[in-house]
Copies of this chain bind each other. A is one copy, B any other.
Amino acid sequence: MERTKFTLDEERIPRAFYNIAADLREAPPPPLHPGTGQPIGPADLAPLFPMELIKQVVSTEREIEIPDPVRRAYAMYRPSPLFRAHRLEQALDTPAHIYYKYEGVSAPGSHKPNTAIAQAFYAREEGVKRFATETGAGQWGSALAFAGALFGIEVKVYMVRASYDQKPYRRILMETYGAQVVASPSPDTHYGQQLLAQDTGHPGSLGVAISEAIEDTVTHPGTKYSLGSVFDFVLLHQTVIGQEAIEQMAMAGEEPDVIIGCVGGGSNFAGLAFPFIGRQLRGEASYRFIAVEPEAAPSLTKGRYEYDFGDTGQMAPLVKMHTLGHDFVPPPIHAGGLRYHGMAPLISKLVDDGLVEARAVHQTATFEAGVRFARAEGIVPAPESNHAIRAAIDEALAAKAAGQRRTILFNLSGHGHFDLAAYESYLAGSLEDFQYVPSKQSSDSKEMAEVAA
């Protein structure tokens, strides 16, 4: 019987996070203080994050040990399985071999708990009692709510109002884990009150919710801010994915030619790709890497690589990244996790260096890929993951056209159980595609960046 699933024993959960900083020839430019425009130091970040995370950001050690309690919590769903997509290959009639690493096996349903668990553990060790965070579609909020329940930390989630109203199940999931969830903009912060005063029906955005969570953090003693993407330490924690995948591809007896992940803030792509990129940087192997983003929020393919704010309220540090401007509000695509104006600085740098290819796809094409995948492989993917599937299928079809064997590996970052309304729209033929229209904000942001730099 040809193998379908490559599983690793609990013992094989990685013992260290892989820190790509150790292998980069040149570090990305430093983050700048949002007020002063000066390079930011540990003291500036201390009000927001546990000290251990700040240390991780400045570390250049290749391996950062994973504490035992974190590995024990990972054991609830890690090592995650690697699958060979035999049925999808047959359906595509392609000579390509397609593999996917499936992160939807975590209880909250995505790769997000990989960092939520680590952040909650370090926070508890430092006496933190409460987290404030933002969430869009809810994947991140439910991951942190889950981790908070495991480590006894209260969690307050600012959930973008549009999602809060449209996705009650995600909210209930967070509440079931014991988190407190409010629609953002909320009356619980000054920034939220200001926005509500202007527009009582403000639909919110990720940028706004980040600003509220940061304000909550700095105004509540014992509270730290937690975030689920973009920042270096988040990407670091996600590298457990790629480390396991390297072992599992070895079990399968193959090396991937192409490695694919979807990108919003960049953490699931980084999680799979960084350990492979490390190999390439060390001259041990060579791969193609493809980061797939939505046409509706194409920061890598249409944004500028420059300093910008991570949030709308300009409270988060300025980082050099591919950005559409911090005021850009992405159109309402169903892949809520990819609706972000910026990109992780580490990924931006790798794209700028030419190590990672960027590709943008329209949502209808991603759902076409997702339904094809579901009917072949059984799993109904998250709308975000459908972006990776689209690119994987396109690579497999290109291999077929070229009469080539090609080994494709992609990250199936989560399941779509809370996104079935989007599938209904697709099946009914009523899903819309959105063209990216640059807004005046991107030039504003350039001015601001020039001021900052």
Contacts and interface: CB of A to CB of B under 8 A. Distances in A.
A16 interface: no
Contact of A420 (B2, B72, B173, B374): B173
Given A172-B423, A417-B417, A377 B105 contact: no
Nearest to A175: B427
Nearest to A370: B176
A175 B172 CA distance: 25
A175 B371 CA distance: 10
B379 A176 contact: no
A365 interface: no
A364 to B, nearest CB: 15
A72 B1 contact: yes
A378 B149 contact: yes
A117 to B, nearest CB: 10
A88 to B, nearest CB: 12
Interface residues of A, number: 48
Copies of this chain present in the complex amount to: 2
A146 B87 CA distance: 13
Contact of A177 (B4, B169, B173, B374): B374
B172 A424 contact: yes
A375 B178 CA distance: 7
Contacts of A168: 420-421, 424
A75 interface: yes
A5 B78 CA distance: 9
A307 to B, nearest CB: 39
B10 A5 contact: yes
Interface in A369-399: 371, 374-380
Contacts of A83: 76
Given A2-B72, A7-B9, A176-B427, 15 more contacts: A1-B68, A4-B72, A5-B75, A7-B7, A76-B378, A87-B150, A106-B378, A146-B378, A149-B375, A169-B420, A169-B421, A175-B423, A176-B380, A176-B420, A417-B418
